[in-house]
Structure 1
Amino acid sequence: MKVELKACRNCRTITTEDVCPKCGGETTTEWHGYVFILDKNKSQIARAMGADNGEYALRVR
Structure 2
Amino acid sequence: MAERACPRCRCVTFDKVCPLCKTETSSDWTGLIVVLNPDESDLAKELNISFPGRYALKVRK
The number of aligned residues is 59
Q: Which residue does 2:57 correspond to in 1?
A: 58
Gaps spanning 5+ residues in structure 2: where?
none
Q: Which residue does 2:25 correspond to in 1?
A: 27
Q: Percent identity?
A: 37
TM-score, normalising length: structure 2: 0.91
Gaps spanning 5+ residues in structure 1: where?
none
TM-score, normalising length: structure 1: 0.91
Larger radius of gyration: 1
CA RMSD of aligned residues (A): 0.8
The one-letter code sitting in structure 1 at the alignment partner of 2:58 is R
Return structure 1 stretches of 4+ with deviation > 2 angstroms.
none
